[in-house]
Amino acid sequence: MTQTIEVDRPVVHNVEVPVPTEPRDAEEWATVLETFATRLAQGRIYRRDLPRLEPAVQHLAEVWIRTVNPQH
């Protein structure tokens, strides 16, 4: 007599998952900003999302101007 036994064995898969990190230096910040500008120019950021992004971009521009031209 033959008996079939089914055995379940757990299988472990190691998967690398990218973890978002903040830019660490000027080069990385430049890359992030350039990517944003490129995607915006290509239309890869939806027009409907622009109102949500506008305050942050406006704030960045204001802080940039104050930092670069402290007399103004």
Share of the chain above pLDDT 70, in %: 99
pLDDT of 71 reads 83
**Residue reference for tokens 């942050």:** 56
Residue 52: what pLDDT? 98
Instruction: Tell me the C-alpha to C-alpha distance, in Å, between residue 12 and each of 15, 17, 19.
Output: 10, 15, 21
Query: Quick one: how far is CA 17 from the chain centroid?
Result: 14
pTM, to two decimals: 0.67
How much is the average pLDDT of 15-38?
95
- Give residue 51's pLDDT: 98
